[in-house]
Structures are given as C-alpha cells and as structure tokens.
C-alpha cells in the first residue's frame, strides 16, 4: 500500500484517498466552440506515462481536499505532494521504455 503525504494531514495510507487522474490538464477555454473530438480528447484521454507522473488525488476519508502528487508509475516512488495552485517540485523526471 502507498503511504501518501497529504499536504494538509501528513502521511496517510492509500485507502483513505481517491484517485483523480492526470494533473495540470488545462480545460478548454470555450468548450462550446471546440469540436466534439477535441472535447472527447480532454475528457477521456490521459497520458499513460511509464515513469514520473503528475496526478491528482483527494483525501476523501481525511480532510477531503484535492492535491497533486508526483509519483513514479513503475516504482511507485513518491517524489512529493503539493497543494492545488502551487508549482510542482523540481523532480528528476524519468521515463522507462
């Protein structure tokens, strides 16, 4: 089980959290003007990185706040957590083949 460092509550077990997918994905500025294909891209398609990944989590059984996490999807190493709106920590990004 992952030990996730919630930026508000500290380290807690993974089963207190829920996953929110890819972080830093800009929402299209004017959704009604873009094509269905572009909207579908935004809603359904996410990066499938094997390596360092920026993702969203919510501490649903704790403080109920959203935050971002930098995690290695292969090794499960957690490089850091940061609040919404904050800049991500400097991480030596890795991608495995």
Q: With binding defined as CB under 8 A, does residue 86 bind other proteins?
A: no
Residue listed under structure tokens 């996490």: 69
Give me the sign of the Cα torsion angle 51, 55, 59, 60: negative
7 three-class SS: coil
**Residues belonging to the chain:** 97
Among residues 5, 20, 51, 62, which is the contact residue for other proteins, using CB under 8 A?
Answer: 62
Among residues 2, 63, 74, 78, which is the contact residue for other proteins, using CB under 8 A?
Answer: 63
- Tell me whether residue 6 or residue 69 sits nearer to other proteins (CB atom): 6
Q: With binding defined as CB under 8 A, does residue 64 bind other proteins?
A: yes
Residue listed under structure tokens 């991608």: 95
Site for other proteins in 7-46 (CB under 8 A): 8-10, 12-13, 15-16
């Amino acid at each position: 089980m992952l030990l996730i460092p919630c930026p508000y509550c500290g380290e807690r077990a993974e089963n207190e959290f829920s996953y929110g997918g890819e972080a830093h994905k800009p929402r299209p500025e004017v959704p009604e003007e873009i094509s269905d294909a572009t909207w579908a891209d935004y809603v359904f398609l996410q990066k499938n990185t094997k390596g360092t990944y920026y993702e969203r989590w919510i501490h649903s059984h704790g403080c109920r706040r959203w935050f971002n996490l930098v995690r290695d999807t292969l090794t499960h190493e957690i490089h850091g957590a940061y609040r919404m709106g904050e800049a991500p920590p400097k991480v030596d990004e890795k991608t495995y083949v």
